[in-house]
Structure 1
Amino acid sequence: MKYDYEQKILSSIDFSQGRPFQDILYVALRNAIINGTFPLGERINEKSLAIQLSISRTPVRQAIARLSKEGLVQAIPNHGVIINNISLSSIKEIFRIRKALEIILFEACLENVTDQDILHFESLCSQMMQAEELDKMEEVFLLFSEYNTYAMKVSNMPRLTVLLEQLSEYLKNFRSYSFYSKERRLRAIYEHTRIIEHLRNHDSNLLAQAVEQHIGNSEQETIDRFIENNRLENDNKND
């Protein structure tokens, strides 16, 4: 009998897309890992997947190899391939990449931004604050996402946008960490506002500093919460 998560993964695989099997499997498994459908530490059974999908093991093996290159899975001798746990080093790596890309993103925004764009950014920040004051956390998160999406649009750098969108999938796992407290969310809204002020003033140096500080604060909050959660989990195991 398959577990519920296996049924969800299998039901998400659609081979009628006209794409290579390994690509379809890779996307389905990757999404399941990133969105938490596939439990961390769980084993991927190549043979079982191939049998249940009525395909050969080759595309399954190829898809898993791509996941391994991304660090999402790991081959364990005499055990098989397992889903990697989030590590402190992976958090630091992701935020380091994010910081570099977002500095480039807002440099491009500075070159293209219009007065109308500034007004739209300011409106989003105002809506964030209103939602936060009403404790509408999910609405705040949606507005953060809309802010980032609009910045990508203004930057007009499609290749950079693709990289950031791929990275944002990983960051979804850390959202509850980086915006855990109301204090952090309020500070993040303030940081977004400061970024817009520097865009309005066309101050590239202060803009880069503000972006770097925002990402750095988000990283530190994520790391602090990650360490605290691990400590609590270990304490519970020892009780």
Structure 2
Amino acid sequence: MKLDKIKSVSIASEVFNQLRLKIINGELKNGQRLVEMDLAKNLGVSRTPVREAIQRLEQEGLVEILPRTHSLVNGISLESINEIILIRSLLEPTAAKVAATKITDDQLLKLKSYLDLSEVYFQQGRVDELMKVHDLFHAEIIKTSGLIRLVNILENLHDYIVHFRHSFLSRPHLVERSIKEHLEIYEALCRRDPDLVEEVFIKHLSGITDYAKVVMEDNTPSEQITSNL
């Protein structure tokens, strides 16, 4: 069997990954100018990998290239939020339903520990830690399903989902609702009732329509300079 030699990640890919993450997490705001020369200088690379990275970002809908001038950050659009919400709403309840038939006592204990930590971090106002355990709670259930292709699809959206969660969990009234719904999911999993798990998961994800409002609030245009890269 003939295999191609493994190549290291290209500079263009590193530039792409860094810019992509900064756009998704809101460090680079909607409407902000991206100038190849300035980016290349700040990143310590030539303009060629920057140009390649920006072209990939355009394909993902995160920037708009204005020929021979500069590019503009499109950032998180309402359409992209709604598309990701739709994908999650279709896939995660299915994963949870299957997980209900496979979950072990040890995995249930792990989910309970995430719930307990969520309460602690919420009371302490530790949003970053709260977001991490919230993410772990969902990830554990999805992984338990064993639906590899479904898991991979959701993992490809992970950077977006994490940013959405951070915006969502920055609002105390939304955190309280989310923790309560996670408890309902946990209790349904303890009963190992696939239909009930699917039902409460659908109910939980119906609330993520609020993502659109809070994420758009957190990604409003503002004047920034590329020197913060």
Partner Cα separation in structure 2 for residue 204 and residue 46 of structure 1: 52
Q: 1:82 aligns with which of 60, 69, 72?
A: 72
For 2:123 and 2:44, locate their aligned partners in 1 and report how far apart those are by CA, in whole Å: 49
Q: Highest relative contact order (Cα 8 Å, sep 6+), 1 or 2?
A: 2
1:109-120 to 2 correspondences below 5 Å = 109-120=99-110
| Structure 2 residue corresponding to 1:218, chosen from 201, 208, 211 | 208
Q: CA deviation at 1:189?
A: 1.0
TM-superposition CA deviations, 1:207-235 (whole Å, max 9, x none):
22211221221222x2344577799x9xx
Greater share of helix residues, 1 or 2? 1
- Give CA deviations for 1:86-121 in whole Å, capped at 9, x if unaligned: 332222122112222312331342232112211221
Q: How many residues align?
A: 214
Distance 2:126 2:12 in 1: 40
| Counterpart among 12, 36, 46 of residue 55 in structure 1 | 46
How far apart are 1:47 and its partner, in Å? 4.4
Gaps of at least 5 residues in structure 1 are 1-16, 234-239
User: 186-195 or 106-115: which moved more?
Assistant: 106-115
5+ residue gaps, structure 2: 1-6, 223-229
CA contact (8 A) 2:24 2:159 kept: yes
Q: Is the 8 A contact 1:98 1:167 kept in 2?
A: no
Q: Distance in 2 between matches of 1:27 and 1:230?
A: 19
> What do residues 32-51 of structure 1 show as CA deviations (whole Å, max 9, x unaligned)?
22233333322222345457
- Which residue identity is paired with 1:121? L
**Aligned-pair Cα RMSD in Å:** 3.1
Judging changes above 3 Å, is the alpha-carbon distance between structure 1 residues 124 and 54 closer, same or farther for their aligned structure 2 residues?
closer
* Secondary structure in 2 matching 1:202: coil
Q: Structure 1 88/127 Cα, relative in aligned 2: closer, same or farther at 3 Å?
A: same
Q: Given the superposition, is the C-alpha separation of residues 82 and 134 from structure 1 closer, same or farther in structure 2, using an over 3 Å criterion?
A: closer
Partner in structure 2 of residue 64 of structure 1: 54
How far does the alpha carbon of each residue in 1:56-83 deviate from its partner, in whole angstroms, 9 at most, with x for none?
Answer: 62x4333222211211111246753211
Whole-angstrom distance in 1 between the partners of 2:157 and 2:219: 23
Q: Does 1:132 align with 2:136?
A: no
CA distance in 1, matches of 2:104, 2:142: 14
How far apart are the structure 2 equivalents of 1:39 and 1:230? 6
Q: TM-score, normalised by structure 2?
A: 0.76
Flag as ranges the 4+ runs of structure 1 deviating above 4 A. Answer: 47-54, 226-231
Identity of aligned residues (%): 29
8 Å CA contact 2:168–2:215 kept in 1: the answer is: no
